[in-house]
Structure 1
Amino acid sequence: MLRTFFRSSTPLTLRRISASPVAARSASTFIGRQSFTPMRFYSAGAAKLDKDEVTRRVIDVIKAFGKSNAAATITPTTLFNKDLGLDSLDTVELLVAVEEEFDIEIPDKIADELKSVAETVDYITSNADAN
């Protein structure tokens, strides 16, 4: 029985596998004969981040950031420039670390306005994409 199956099937070395861009495009855009449109699904009731949790995570990022004077206690009223001794470049690097922590992108216009921990926490909690 298996002998008839192997004899009737085409050997793998004789099969042609099309690698043309047209075949690849048509295979990715059509399933059967129906067109396929890629979609992104979101959960309907995505829970917002808790403000206390966001504050804790931002403070942890600041403590792990090597260029700040994090020896002092960091509170929501802590200012990046005055209390932590960060210049503008260090502040940008700190905000990049915060972006990576929460998997978001802070636009440059808004990043220039963030001067304290509380302002950063408020922005993150208002951002729907923050994780």
Structure 2
Amino acid sequence: MSTVEERVKKIIAEHLSREPEEILPLDDFVEDLGADSLDVVELVMRLEDEFKMEVPDEDAEKIKTVQDACNYVSQVLRVADGYK
């Protein structure tokens, strides 16, 4: 099974027409990867689909980098599994 980071990078790479190896944890979706606001919304929606979760708008606004996305998904999955 792929790690959260690998799965997140794959989603970003597919959506932004990049290779997963090009995507770094500290890359900002807009500044470094060239995403626009619609791309960011669509990326969050794809994360929701991939990880079977909902991201409230106020949380989605805080997801600015690849690492932010990985951390958020990991946190939600830990809580869902009963870990804190």
TM-score, length-scaled by structure 1: 0.54
**How far apart, in 2, do the equivalents of 1:78 and 1:106 lie?**
20
Aligned pairs (5 A) from 1:34-49: none
Aligned structure 1 segments of 4 or more residues deviating by more than 6 angstroms: none
Q: Output aligned runs, 1:37-116, within 5 Å.
A: 53-65=3-15, 68=16, 70-71=18-19, 73-116=22-65
| Structure 2 unpaired stretches of 5+ | none
Higher Cα Rg, which structure? 1
* Structure-2 separation of matches of 1:60 and 1:81: 17
Of 58, 80, 83 in structure 2, the residue corresponding to residue 129 of structure 1 is 80
Deviation at 1:83, TM superposition (A): 1.3
Helix, strand or coil at the partner of 1:113: coil
Deviation at 1:69, TM superposition (A): 5.3
Q: Which has the higher contact order (CA 8 A, sep 6+)?
A: 2
Percent sequence identity over aligned pairs: 35
**More helix by percentage:** 2
Amino acid at match of 2:4: V
Aligned residues: 77
Structure 1, residues 64-117: CA drift from partner, whole Å, max 9, x if none?
A: 11xx25257101111100111111111000110111111110000010111001
Contact 1:55–1:121 (Cα < 8 Å) also in 2? yes
**Structure 2 length as normaliser, TM-score?**
0.81
